[in-house]
Amino acid sequence: MSVKPRPSISWIHEDHSASTPENNPSKRMRSEMNKQYFARLIHNRAKLRVTSRTSALLTGFAMIAMVETQLTKDAVPDWLIVSFCISTTILIAVHLFALLISICILPNLEATKQRALDNVEEGNAPDVHDRDILFEGYVKIAWFCATAAGILLFLVEVTLISWVKFYPYSPQSAFISTWILFPLLFIFCAFAAHFYRKIFIYNAMAISGDLKDLERMANFSSSEILSV
């Protein structure tokens, strides 16, 4: 009785090796895109956490300033009181808007981050899709409201408080606080312009590099397909 040879299982190893990201260009491309999406998700999460803390702090300060400020009747001009009320209201509204965006989006980013980390612990690539970072525009709006616009309004609020508080007793003190504010505003605006310019250049370079990497990987994938 002849013994039949056992069937070869080399195809199993071939298919398994072909399915790995190192040997499959499409999966390798998807893995690289997931890594980029995951990095952007972590960055947006950090920005929202800072935004929520900053907005909550400055909103509380503005509320306390509005409640605790004592106004002397007929000693403070009406236009100064109106300016103080407008500035305080806008300051609180801007920071509450940034805080609202943070509260709504941050849980989604936390859940997506945890899901991606679970995939990494299982030995897979972080499964993060472009739909998970569709809130990036809202994150930028919240970041701008809490930092650039929010801090600028906060400086104006401090100046108006000094006018409302000290103008009836010492107008010179109010003028001195305003003179101190002008160079601070200039420094603040110059730093903000320089910082956001650097961020814009860095993002442009990063996007250009990502596009080149994707193009190189696509060309490599097409060449491998043609060779097969």
User: Above 70 in pLDDT, residue 204?
Assistant: yes
- The share of the chain scoring above pLDDT 90, in percent, equals 10
pLDDT of residue 8: 41
pLDDT of residue 99: 92
Rounded to an integer, what distance in angstroms lies between the CA atom of residue 131 and that of residue 33? 13
How many CA atoms are closer than 13 Å to the CA of 67, on its beta-carbon side? Answer: 7
pLDDT tens per residue across span 100-154: 999 988 888 787 777 766 665 555 555 555 555 567 888 889 988 998 888 889 9
Place of tokens 């998970």: 132
Under a CB-based contact definition with an 8 Å cutoff, are residues 126 and 117 in contact? yes
* Domain 35-171 grouped into CATH 1.20.140.140: yes
If pLDDT is split at 50, 70 and 90, which confidence band does 16 have? Answer: very low
Closest CA to 98 of 140, 152, 41: 140
Q: Which are the contacts of 50, defined by CB distance < 8 A and separation ≥ 6?
A: 143, 146
User: Above 50 in pLDDT, residue 17?
Assistant: no
User: Above 60 in pLDDT, residue 15?
Assistant: no
Q: Compute the Cα dihedral for 58, 63, 64, 70 and give only its sign.
A: positive
Least confident residue range of 26-40, 93-107, 145-159, 198-212:
26-40
Least confident residue range of 46-50, 66-70, 183-187:
66-70
Rounded to an integer, what distance in angstroms lies between the CA atom of residue 18 and that of residue 228? 13
pLDDT tens per residue across span 79-113: 888 888 899 999 999 999 999 999 988 888 787 77
Of 220 and 48, more confident: 48
**Model-level pTM?**
0.70
Of 204 and 18, more confident: 204
User: Above 60 in pLDDT, residue 12?
Assistant: no
Q: Which are the contacts of 36, defined by CB distance < 8 A and separation ≥ 6?
A: 210
